[in-house]
Amino acid sequence: MKNNLYVDIHVLQNVPPSCINRDDTGSPKTAKYGGAVRARVSSQAWKHEMRTMFREMLCEEEVGVRTKKISQMIANVMREIDDSIESEKANTLALNALGNAGIKTDKEGLSSVLMFFSAAQAKALARLAIQQSKDKKEYQNALKAAPSMDMALFGRMVAADPSLNFDAAAQVAHAISTHAVHNEYDYFTAVDDLIRGEESGAGHLGTVEFNSATLYRYATVNVIELQKNLGTQTEEAVKCFAEAFIKTMPTGKQNTFANRTLPDFVYIALRTDQPVNLAGAFEKPVSGTNGYLEESEKKFREYADTIYHKFACEPEKVWEFGEMNISQILEEVKSAVREKLSGSRGE
């Protein structure tokens, strides 16, 4: 096997009137691409929903926690390990432990930035705190070992101490519409149920901005990088990542628009050269009055063929929704990754 192994996930998804990801003014996010304004959903919004889904898919030990309440978290774990430790003492020991680990906290025990911890890392720190260890290297090692599955996928950055960083093995692109969009406004009113007769009328009125789009979504997993941190869990992590990326959707204004949809087109490629984002298929916006999906899929396939013949290699294997259902595809992707990794280990 070559030293590179990537799983690329391409999705086309119709989203009806919605405002699933807003900017600071409350408007749906957009981006200009190919000279046209496109609907856009940030990668951060989608990754947040993926991490939320991980909590449903995986056991507690496999999912990390991102928080500023680090001392409280460590103190709680300490008391789970040894319920004879009083709450006040646990808090003190937790603050001492974080100080030894080089993590600064304020007088309320909050860190200055959000910290990403795995359950195993929290337990390791808690045990060192109970032992009242003063060895800073032990604390550092505890924070460098046993990352959670989502930490290995999405990474961890600690600006104050880069040695605690985990490089993200997965990347998620901002989703963009395959066509130009124009944001629209919904004028709405709400009636006060207790006003009657001459006083009847709207108790509240306002507007909400929205758009609708056929989105192109892309994500990729560096399988070899992921294996460095997860070992034998790697193929399961790839499957979970792919499933979460395919099935989730950011929840902005969900109650207003009920816009939850599932993908209309899924194309997963196993590559041994480099990841390839195929957004260039839509640099020239799809146009028409009879829907965008069919033409978007056509342009995607044509562009993929061009890229494969002129620049990148053909994928080692491709799975498409329609030929198989999503569950079958995910299992086949998992098996293919396992087989590739087994070959690299000489098993």
- pLDDT reported for residue 345: 54
pLDDT for res 60:
85
DSSP state string for 42-111: -HHHHHHHHHHHHHHHS-GGGS-EEES-HHHHHHHHHHHH-TTS-HHHHHHHHHHHHHHTT--B-TTS-B
Q: Percentage of residues in the chain with pLDDT exceeding 90?
A: 79
Q: Which residues of the chain are modeled with pLDDT < 70?
A: 1-2, 197-201, 344-347
3-state class of 293 per DSSP?
helix
**Token pair listed for 267:** 């194309």
Per-residue pLDDT at 111: 86
Report d(CA 295, CA 23) in Å as an integer.
29
Indicate if the alpha-carbon torsion angle 7, 8, 13, 15 is positive or negative: positive
pLDDT, averaged across the chain: 92
202-222 vs 184-191, strand pairing mode: antiparallel
- Angle (CA) 211-217-218 rounded to 5° is 160
Tokens describing residue 200:
């009847």
Residue 159, SS3 per DSSP: coil
Neighbours of 268 (CB within 10 A): 24
Q: Give the length of the chain.
A: 347
- Collapsed DSSP state (helix, strand, coil) of residue 334: helix
Query: What distance in Å separates the CA atoms of residue 100 and residue 140, rounded to the nearest whole number?
Result: 8
Instruction: Specify the 3-state DSSP secondary structure of 203.
Output: strand
Q: Which of 244, 281, 282, 290 is nearest to 39 (CA)?
A: 282
Report the C-alpha gap between 128 and 123 in whole angstroms.
9
Which is it for strands 265-271 and 202-222: parallel, antiparallel or unpaired?
A: unpaired
Q: Are 173 and 279 in contact (CB under 8 A)?
A: yes
pLDDT given at position 199: 66
- Report residue 250: phi and psi, to 5°: -55, 150
Angle at 296 between CA 295 and CA 298, to 5 degrees: 65
Q: Which residues of 64-100 are buried (b: 16+ CB within 10 A; e: fewer)?
A: bbeebbbbbbbbbbbbeeeeebeeeebbebbbbbbeb
